[in-house]
Every structure is written in C-alpha cells, then in structure tokens.
Amino acid sequence: MKLTDIWKTSQVPTVSFELFPARSEKAAEKLEKTIDELVALKPDFVSVTFGAGGSTREGSRQLIEKLKDGEGLEVIGYFAGYGLGPEDILAVLDSYQAIGVENILVVRGDPPHEGGFTPHPESLPYASDLMAFVRPRYDFCLGVAGYPEGHIDAPSKEKDIEYLKLKVDLGAEYIITNYCYDNQFFFDFLERCQAAGIDVPVLPGVMPIYSVKMMETLASLCGATITDEIRQGIDALPEGDKEALLSFGIEFAVQQCGELIEAGVPGLHLYTMDRSESSVAIVNRLRSEGLL
C-alpha cells in the first residue's frame, strides 16, 4: 500500500522504523533479533537505507524482500543516487518494482567514505535531479528528505526550503525529516513549508540516544543540535552507566514524541540504528499512555 493511502485511512499516528542492511555475520544475527522485536510491535511500515554509491545495493534489496515477503511489512526503499549513472538507477528501481515495492524515498546520498569511488559521468548531482528523472518513469509513491535545522550543505534555511519545494513540485508525495532534539526546530520547519506552499505529509524522524559517542558523531554529520537540556541531563547521570543513559534517552524520546503527536503529526519514524530496545520501550510507553 502506498504511504499516502496509509495516512488517509489510519485513525492514529503511524509508527515506522528505519533499518539498514547488515555488513557482517555478527551484525546480521543482531539484525534478525531486532527485526523480530520490532515486527512484534506491528509497525505501519519500515524503511531500508541504501548505502553511499550503491554500496549496499544487493543487501538493501534482500532486506526489503525479507521484510516484505517474510514479515508481511510495507516497506519504503531508500534510493540514494549519488554517483550512479542512468542505467544503474533504472536497474535498482526496476528490481524494487519487480518485488512489489510501492514506496521510495529519493535522496542524494553522501559520497562513499572509502577511496577509489568515481561518480558516473552522467550521474545526477541532486535529489531534485533524481526526482525529475524517476517521476515520469515509475508509479512509486515518492518521498524526499527534509531538514528541520537546514541541510548541512545548504547556504540557508530559506534556500533549503526552496530546494524542498522544487522536489515536491517535481512529484514528491511525502517528506521524512532528519531528527532534531528540540521540537521547536520541527515546528518552525513546518511553518516554513506551509509558507512555501508545501502541503504534503511531513513525517518527523526521531533518533533515540543510544550512546554519547554515537550522539556526538551523528550530530556532527548531519548538523543536529544537541541541546543544553540533553547535555545537562547526561551530565547528571552516573558516569559510564550505559543503562542509565539508555533510560534517559527513552524518557526524552517519549516526551518528544508525545509533544509531536499532540501537535498532529501523521506519524513517527524512529531511527533504530538496527537496535530494538529503545524503540520497543518508546512505542510501548506511548501506546500505554493512549497516544498511539
């Protein structure tokens, strides 16, 4: 089912999770357990990422198939087109279409960190270029990424919204945002979208706090602000107590999600980092409080 139809028929905000393909046997075993525990929550859909430069191309398709056919889940296939030529783009999307994928998230993607990668000379440099290429050729329900604090490469938040509006005008039907720890960034982003005439569903991304190192690394990569409230809360925890940190992160996310739900968001998209404990606890708390 297309996401736009899910949101039209859902009586409560949707719950969804992001997963990424395992890159080792140990990670694959961990992912199997994570999937089992997340599937038990009966999410409305899940998303599967696509590695930089197509690095997880086969793994992403296999994971999508497993989730769709093995678990009966609706799946969003990410498509990060950075560096890929037209033939590769068509091959990936044809393979997704062949296994029944109806929803695609079109993103530029990042350059591969490993050396030696050379972009195809006919590659499309921006997500808007990908949208213009993909939309006339496929009937997918296409979505794009949004950045409440502005994309890290954008010259300004205003310019970032211009680019987002262009992607919607080219056929994007929904937006999934990068996470932020202060909901005011998201609410301000919605106001900028509305002022620009963007009227598609905007789904907030939520990133639980898993570890201080991961929090700092991810924030530096995407430009997310780590608020004083979070820093002070973490400083008050017993040093090195991983369980206390995880509990703090869960409690913070529950409060954040509750505020987003009260504001009328269409759903919540949790970035699991292929872990289940925090997401399970967050969703169960929200459901026990009648918010989901």
Active-site residues, by number, are 18
Q: Is the dihedral of CA 170, 140, 52, 156 positive or negative?
A: positive
Residues near 110 by Cβ (< 8 Å), separated by ≥ 6?
52, 80, 82
Direct distance between the N- and C-terminal alpha carbons of the chain, in angstroms, rounded to an integer: 21
Q: Which DSSP helix (H) or strand (E) runs through 288?
A: helix 277-288
Residue spans of alpha helices (H) in 15-156: 25-39, 57-65, 86-98, 127-134
Tokens 């992912």 belong to which residue?
Answer: 31
Of 79, 75, 134, 147, nearest in space to 107 by CA: 79
DSSP three-state, residue 122: coil
Tokens 């296409």 belong to which residue?
Answer: 142
The rounded distance, in Å, linking the Cα atoms of 89 and 194 is 32
Contact 147, 117 (CB under 8 A): no
The rounded distance, in Å, linking the Cα atoms of 206 and 110 is 20
The rounded distance, in Å, linking the Cα atoms of 287 and 284 is 5
